[in-house]
Chain A
Amino acid sequence: MKLRLGSAALTGALVGALSLTGCGSDDNSGIPGALDFSLDDLHCGPDGTLLASGSSAQANAMEVWVNTYQTNCAGSQVNYKATGSGAGVQEFLQGNTAFAGSDTALDADEIEESRSVCRDGGRALNLPIVAGPVAIGYHLPGVDDLVLDPDTLARIFDSRITRWNDPAIHRLNPDARLPDAPITPFHRSDGSGTTENFTSYLRAAAPDSWPHEPDKAWAGRGGQAADGSSGLVGQVQQNEGAIAYFELSFAHRNEISTVRLDTGAERPVAATVENAAGAVDRARVVGRHGDLALEFDYTARAVDVYPIVLVTYEIACDRGNEPDSVGLIKAFLGYAASEEGQRALARIDYAPISDPIIDQVRRRIDAMA
């Protein structure tokens, strides 16, 4: 009993410490300590310990899932280290972890590489399991509501629109009192899935104004850089005229105004969990041979679709997982993909995966061996 108590405390401390050091990038924990994690109908797997690492964008979702799972299945431990997607995938492909969390789906080469860690001819699967809106936060006293379209957004972040009273911004916000002040766009200085998703959006929705290829590293011209989403938040708060992109929870917790996006729909869409879920509903599965890698329609025009979304995957073997831990992997991921698991997301500013896709995720998890 004493032992179990100790290990639970240790896990708690680990998760806490890791979400703190979680590169400051995506530490959106707003999870109250006294939250009740107990659940009646959670299907527990066999006892054991699960090691996993990867994306820090899903760290808070993981924290809730891990806490809930461990509270209800006392013999199990899940250690998720938010090391960043690249490091997580690396560790998984070296066979050090049971599954990885990643902001980008494994590509064909990496799936091929996974055959060396997945036994019995198995290979790695991309399982989309968490999504979230990427908000555009800005700091402009006197302007509470700001509407931008993809084209203007791309030109601001590429340092081609440099002042707030630019005609292009004025046209979208005829009633706002835009100051004659410089715009300081901020981007991530560290490699980040958030950057990749944001620039994928700019590339797809405003190809004429955003000539750069989407990448985890920032490719735009000019502007300033800061480390992690929390670094961007700090700079936006500190500098009048700043604008930056980060996960919605950062904007909420720091009371930063976010841009409404003029996608061409009847009215501009706000960055909310509901509108992000609308975008996830319209996502298309592009993975082949049972893989569930997703592609978004960044040009969607609907009043309930906020198109800048980040989806993060769990990556595990379809066959040939470690025999000792496969039962636990299935039980834990099964819970995360379950209705309860997905419902827990909205409370912490993540969006659930849409029903037809999450159904497929559940089936893949059931079939894992």
Chain B
Amino acid sequence: MDPANAGDGTRPGRDGTVRLGDRVFGGLAKGSGITLLLIMAAIAVFLTIRAVVAISRDEGNFLTTFEWDANSHPPVFGIAVLLFGTVVSSLIAIVLAMPVAVGIALFISHYAPRRLAAPIGYLVDLLAAVPSIVYGLWGALYLVPRLTGFYEWLDHLFGWTGILSYNGTPARSLMSVGILLAIMILPIITSVTREIFRQTPRAHQEAALALGATRWEVITTTVLPFGRSGIISATMLGLGRALGETMAVATVLSPSFLINASLLESGGGTFAQNIASQFKEATSMGRDALIASGLVLFVLTLLVNGAARLIIARRREYAGNAG
């Protein structure tokens, strides 16, 4: 039987009859798939309708205005600061988290003795179970005060760049948010890449060893190339979480509608954080404006996922040959 059609409930069995179970299960599976599409479509339609209303009344430029004054008459708001803050904090998180996550995954799959590998895997997965508000509180009360010294050191070395200058105010900045987000997305990147590395074909690794490769060479010639698409999709999963993180950012960041050239000083904001902060006291106009910013985040996330798919599709040949 062609496995691609196995889910099709109408396909006759060996004796030519269609079984009830097949039909029911096929219908359920199809129904689930359609439901998902409907939900996505409903969200997109809702966001778009409300967003169009808000943007049409916006007296500022929705894309370039550095202000969020959506509750006043006339409303003036723009997403420039939010887009910048969301992208920058998420990129910082990815840059910090990915190498560490790949390292942990390699350690678990190829270096750690079996007795150590399992507990470390559990520990990393446990990080994913911590609620984000707990990360936020830990970040605001513990991490941020301890980053001040590190930032002063960065300022001392790289302050001349402007990007890494620091004036000694509480370090509730995009950089701190990025560091916190990196810790939060570490487990998801680690666990996905770990599973991929484990699936590296034995034959490849043994062939490399037979050619006299060291363990490091085995990893660079077989494990990493085989796992590349997995690393990318894991990173994109992590990026998705970082882009949408709300409570942790709202707790740690000191937001403002100005872009601070320095990543170490407070200011900026993210889409999700801004929605959480403004929603409670928003008028109906303010609410629609927040929904419009939510639509941008929705599109941004779709783009990121789309990009990941493209990259994975291009890499598929290698993985396909390996399988």
Contacts and interface: CB of A to CB of B under 8 A. Distances in A.
A23 B277 CA distance: 9
Contacts of A23: 280
A226 B252 CA distance: 8
Nearest to A109: B73
Which secondary structure dominates where chain B touches chain A? mixed
Interface of B: 68-69, 71-72, 140-141, 145, 168-170, 172, 250-251, 253-256, 266, 276-284, 286-287
Nearest to A192: B281
B140 A86 contact: no
Contact of B280 (A182, A190, A234): A190
In the A-B complex, the 10 residue pairs with the closest CB atoms: A84-B280, A191-B281, A224-B254, A86-B281, A190-B277, A225-B254, A216-B281, A189-B255, A86-B282, A189-B277
B72 A215 contact: yes
Contacts of A242: 170
A227 interface: yes
Nearest to B266: A224
Interface of A: 23, 25, 56, 83-87, 90, 182, 184, 189-193, 215-217, 224-227, 231, 234-235, 238-239, 242
Contacts of A189: 250, 253-255, 277
Given A87-B282, A189-B277, 5 more contacts: A84-B281, A86-B286, A189-B254, A217-B68, A234-B141
B170 A184 contact: yes
A239 B145 CA distance: 9
Contacts of B254: 189, 224-226
A225 B256 contact: yes
Point out which of A25, A84, A227, A238 has the most chain B C-beta atoms below 10 A from its C-beta. A227
B98 to A, nearest CB: 29
Contacts of B255: 189, 225
Contacts of A193: 281
A234 B137 CA distance: 10
Contact of B277 (A56, A87, A182, A191): A191
Contact of B145 (A182, A192, A224, A238): A238
A190 B278 contact: yes
A3 to B, nearest CB: 33
B250 A227 contact: yes
Contact of A85 (B141, B251, B281): B281
Nearest to A196: B281
B250 A224 contact: no
Contact of B170 (A25, A192, A224, A231): A224
Contact of A238 (B141, B279, B283): B141
Contacts of A190: 276-278, 280-281
Contacts of B266: 224-225
A224 B169 CA distance: 9
B281 A182 contact: no
Contacts of B281: 84-87, 190-193, 216
B172 A224 contact: yes
Contacts of A86: 71, 280-283, 286
B170 A235 contact: yes
A215 B70 CA distance: 11
A285 to B, nearest CB: 24
A83 B140 contact: no
Contacts of B286: 86, 191
A191 B282 contact: yes
B141 A217 contact: no
A51 to B, nearest CB: 18
A189 B280 CA distance: 12
